[in-house]
Amino acid sequence: MTHLGDVMAKDHLQETCLTSKSYLPIEDYGMIGDLHTVALIGKNGSIDWCCLPRFDSPSVFGRLLDVNKGGFFRIAPPESIIAGHRQLYWPETNILITRFLTNDGVGQIMDFMPVYPAQRLGYQHQIIRIVKVVRGSLAFCMECRPAFNYAREAHELQLSESGALFQSSELALALDASVPLEADDYGGVHASFTLQEGESAYFSMECVTEGELVIHYYPQYYEDAFLKTRAYWQNWLSQCQYLGRWREVVRRSALVLKLLTYAPTGAIVAAPTTSLPETIGGARNWDYRFTWLRDAAFTLYSLLLLGFSQEAEAFMGWLNARCHEIEEDGGLQPIYGIDGSHDLSEHTLDHLEGYLGSRPVRIGNGAYNQKQLDIYGELMDAIYIYNRYEDISYDLWQNLRRLLGWLTLHWHEPDEGIWEVRGGPKPFVHSRLMSWVAFDRAIRLTRHRGWYAPLRNGCAQAASFMKRLCAKAGATKKGALCSTMGVRLSMPVRY
């Protein structure tokens, strides 16, 4: 028999479980991933950003860019009883723990994405959420409302004893839960449950093929997945050779960089998000879910210094493939897709309001067809460093020679530069400096490997420019260089 008091208590719990209609600060998000994609999880227990099955796929949960339409997957106690939040990572892993502090008890969610071998067939990209009460007794609410294809596409919901299946035209997601689920009025599901000290509840969201049934996993499966995921990250991090005073910070940074790698190709994304504004309410909101040669070169450099040579080797394979694609007298794009795609045409999603109302929301990045001459310097510097650990192939060197030959003819031309300006090319000093770096590292490589490189003209011109530039910088009161040739700016490039 159901008592009136129980019904009223359940109704009150559902009312207080309503998701907040405000945006979280960016710093209130933690990140998990499986080397194909990531999920951003707020201190409020909500997954507000996740693209499946890849970094650059359309979002499934996109509340980060529209609090009303974007979609989310939240587990948390009722907001009215939460006294505090805390987020931390399980030591030396990318397993995220979100802890809730209340007067009735302490609860936590452990979020992670299992990482499977690259050769595994049927990679299904699974998000596992383990809810546990550490002290006392605590009520939780779960709400899952996916919004497929950047909230542009409707989906069908099928409920069963095993869980829920969300089916769109291109993607299907299966939600397994250890508690009963109910449909809501928004194409999602919700649940309310109470855990005592030491008790746990389990949730799994994974990509499935069309027509596949929801698989119900037993608690032991979740515990085994946690142990395997923990072992993977700790084994990977054990390669780190840094032992200095900033050990904890450096190792955490390495784990973040690893999350930004795309395992199937070795590419490295600049960021796993799109359209987060440079300034709140501003229009400079770009899609960074691609591989910038500049950013990837710096990441490669960092990982090599820390002892992670496998990631560097994988990226060099990706880079070698891009070098084989260039035309005889052409240069590299500054940006490529994680699968090596060239066309990253930019579009706006006008139906989304953007983070804190910062429109427009963009997908794609128009900077892919810009000329950014500095990338050759960053790239050659990273390759030079890599060659100290592992010899580059002669085949790659032949392609680099072609690129350097192209740079010999174009290094002095105006470009969009590291700032990716959209008002037309300018004679950026930084681009010329980095062109000199490209020639300098090429000469060092040829000396080390005994290879031939007919780069005398380009090297001589860049070296002469560098000499004049340094002399000019030394003559100024601040010892600084201007941003562009012949223009004095308030923010010079330091020499």
For the chain, the domains span 4-237, 247-494
CATH number 3.40.50.360 given to 247-494: no
What are the tens digits of pLDDT across the range 165-212?
999 999 999 999 999 999 999 999 999 999 999 999 999 999 998 777
**3-state secondary structure at position 186:** coil
- Percent helix, strand, coil in the chain, to 5, is 35, 25, 40
* Residue 230 confidence (pLDDT) above 70: yes
Q: Tell me, what amino acid is at 94?
A: N
Can you tell me the distance from the alpha carbon of 73 to that of 205, in angstroms, rounded to the nearest whole number?
10
**3-state secondary structure at position 166:** strand
**3-state secondary structure at position 315:** helix
Per CATH, 4-237 and 247-494 having the same topology is answered no
CATH number 1.10.8 given to 4-237: no
Can you tell me the distance from the alpha carbon of 177 to that of 204, in angstroms, rounded to the nearest whole number?
7
List the one residue out of 433, 394, 387, 390 whose CA is nearest residue 411: 433
List the one residue out of 115, 63, 107, 61 whose CA is nearest residue 84: 107
pLDDT at 1: 34
Using alpha carbons, list the distances in angstroms from residue 244 to 248, 254, 306, 372, 389.
9, 14, 11, 36, 21
Task: Give Cβ neighbours of residue 322 (< 8 Å, ≥ 6 apart).
Answer: 332, 336, 340
Task: Give Cβ neighbours of residue 15 (< 8 Å, ≥ 6 apart).
Answer: none
Q: How many helices (H) and strands (E) does the chain have?
A: 10, 23
- As a whole number, mean pLDDT of residues 28-38 equals 98
* Residue 295 confidence (pLDDT) above 50: yes
What are the tens digits of pLDDT across the range 118-159?
655 556 799 999 999 999 999 999 999 999 999 999 999 999
pLDDT at 279: 93
Task: Give Cβ neighbours of residue 18 (< 8 Å, ≥ 6 apart).
Answer: none
Q: What's the pLDDT band for 63 if we cut at 50, 70, 90? A: very high
